[in-house]
Amino acid sequence: MSAEATDDLSYDAVGQTRIDRDDWDGCPRGYRRFERTVDIGQGPEDWERSSADVLRWAVKLRSGFDVRDGAAGLEVVENRGYELVARLGPLRLREPVRVVEVVRSPDRCGFAYGTRTGHPVSGEEAFIVHRSPDGTVRLTLRSLTRAAAGWRRVLFPIALVAQRLYRRRYLRALTRGR
């Protein structure tokens, strides 16, 4: 990612969710690390559906977010800025992000986005669909999170509670039969 593309990011661990790798070791100092993997299907049909869905923001959309980018369509594009909007009853919470990495391979597909200034937390989140040799299709969530700078820092404990709620939704978002 170019220096110009990272100028508006609110964190310094860009690319640290390592979406191109099965193993994910370490955690930069000052961040909370999260990783969870769930089975979401079996076979070529589930792979095709899930790998396409993950690159169209289905995990976020099916979990109660709107995704805005000012362009036609919702395909994930590396280096593009987006605005995620969490719907919490009548409230709307704006979360500016930038896609920092996209992976597309025969058995691994997904992306990572980084928080931009104005996001309620600071860090990186990744959504990776992958399949094993036996055809099992899985979704892996990875994130590195820390408190945002400035006045948003006081909201971090509330953000951590919301993050747990949304992670449960994310892990169900691509399961068969949705």
Phi, psi of 33 (to 5 degrees): -105, 135
In the numeric block, which tokens belong to residue 77?
A: 């594009």
* Rounded Cα gap, residues 159 and 170, in angstroms: 16
Note down pLDDT in tens along the chain; length 178 residues.
545 555 789 888 898 899 988 888 878 888 989 999 999 999 999 999 999 999 999 999 998 889 988 666 688 999 999 999 987 778 788 889 999 999 999 999 999 999 998 888 889 999 999 999 999 999 999 999 888 777 666 776 667 777 788 888 888 888 865 5
User: Given phi > 0 = left and psi -120 to 50 = alpha, else beta, which region is 37?
Assistant: beta
Stated pTM of the model? 0.89
Contact, 174 vs 58, CB < 8 A? yes
The pLDDT value given to residue 5:
54
* Rounded Cα gap, residues 22 and 167, in angstroms: 20
Residue 27 exposed, middle or buried by CB count within 10 Å (0-12, 13-18, 19+): middle
* Rounded Cα gap, residues 78 and 111, in angstroms: 8
The pLDDT value given to residue 46:
95
The pLDDT value given to residue 139:
96
Residue ranges of domains in the chain, CATH in brackets: 30-172 (3.30.530.20)
